[in-house]
Amino acid sequence: MGSTAFTLNQITCGGTSESGHDEVMILWQSDAGMGHLFPAGRNAHSMDDGGDKTWSNIGLDLEFENDCLVTLYDQDSSLDPKLADYLVSYDYQPDSMPSSVTLSNPNGAKYTLSITNVRITK
């Protein structure tokens, strides 16, 4: 079976889940395997729909065979990962690799994921 790879390069905030900033963490999971947290540790990226709107140059290279689920969480100042709030997610598949996708949820969170360098091998 072939594989698909891509680079998650940018996240843009169009609305936060709460007043002020979301402290954004990325959890990604390829082919229903173990989840991986980015950035490593508890170094969440502070974002809002004003001055801290764009997280650029992320450079997170991901690879999968069937699908890669990318989920954003709001890691509040408690730094307890069990208290992180769900923001949005997108399930990338070989036949669904948009260069950017805008996602939202009822709590007001609205984020655009932008990818580059899509490589599909058969």
Query: Could you give the angle at the alpha carbon of 96 between the alpha carbons of 66 and 89, nearest 5°?
Result: 80
pLDDT of residue 44: 87
Does the pTM surpass 0.85? The reply is: yes
- CATH code, domain with 29: 2.60.40.1110
pLDDT of residue 51: 83
> For the chain, how many structural domains are there in total?
1
Residue among 109, 120, 122, 2 nearest 65 (CA): 2
Convert the pLDDT of each residue in 37-90 to its tens digit. Answer: 998 876 889 999 888 899 999 999 999 999 999 999 998 766 566 678 899 999
**Which structural domain range is residue 87 located in?**
3-121
Answer yes or no: are the C-beta atoms of 52 and 15 closer than 8 Å.
no
Mean pLDDT of the residues in the chain: 91
